[in-house]
Amino acid sequence: EAGVAQSPRYKIIEKRQSVAFWCNPISGHATLYWYQQILGQGPKLLIQFQNNGVVDDSQLPKDRFSAERLKGVDSTLKIQPAKLEDSAVYLCASRGLRDSTDTQYFGPGTRLTVL
Amino acid sequence: GNSVTQMEGPVTLSEEAFLTINCTYTATGYPSLFWYVQYPGEGLQLLLKATKADDKGSNKGFEATYRKETTSFHLEKGSVQVSDSAVYFCALSPNTGGFKTIFGAGTRLFVKA
């Protein structure tokens, strides 16, 4: 089965610019997560979707970050405007309904550099 | 609140050496525990997991035992290979609500030939 797809793999922008990341989860996975992984740290959850509804966005900086999953399949994460401290790897993960525990499958990530 | 603490790296070992990466956690209730591995340039992969006390997760020669009395989930491997060089993340999921996963900071392992 195909894994979690993300694009682009790398992005370099200047501060105050906008950027968007795309994620396509494993087919049939209802739960989708976006994580931010700053260099030298573990991933931090930004937002979690169950189908097209938001389950948890408590750590999403809503003044500049937004995410959507309109049809309950793929998802986009946007940053507008970007700051230097947003430089990180943005990971998308998905989880299937049959998993009674949280086994998440991760995509390769998008490495964002803000100059 | 829930948190995970793992030993700082980098850890540098020679091939065939014994590996231990310590992980302790703080959580309410009975979380599930995980080890994820991140190879250079790749996303995180689930390495092993344990869902209840005294469970042992194992995969690819790695193993970890869920110790509730010491709130620990240490990762071990008897004989490491160069190909094991990666960053290892300990994580927990409270198994409630949205199954949010909390990760440790990661431990980088270098294995020399």
- Could you read off the pLDDT of A46-59 as tens digits, one per residue? 999 998 899 899 99
Report the alpha-carbon distance of residue A81 to residue A77 in Å, rounded: 13
Nearest chain B CA: its distance from A74 CA (Å): 18
Chain A residue with Cα closest to B30: A101
Q: pLDDT digits over A28-80, tens only? A: 898 999 999 998 889 999 999 998 899 899 999 999 999 999 888 999 999 99
Report the alpha-carbon distance of residue B89 to residue B44 in Å, rounded: 9
Report the alpha-carbon distance of residue B111 to residue A15 in Å, rounded: 38
**A to B CB pairs, distance under 8 Å:** 61
Chain B neighbors of A10, CB-CB under 8 A: none
Which of A42, A91, A93 is nearest residue B104 as measured by Cβ atoms? A42
State the CB neighbour count (10 A cutoff) for residue A14: 11
Pair of tokens at residue B87: 């960053």
**Closest alpha carbon to B9 in B112, B113, B86:** B86
Residue A24: what are its φ and ψ, rounded to 5°?
A: -120, 115
Mutate to test the interface with B, among A41, A102, A103 (most CBs of B within 10 A): A102
Nearest chain A CA: its distance from B78 CA (Å): 25
Please report the sign of the dihedral spanned by the C-alpha atoms of residue B29, residue B32, residue B35, residue B41: negative
Q: How much is the pLDDT for B94?
A: 83
Q: How much is the pLDDT for A13?
A: 97
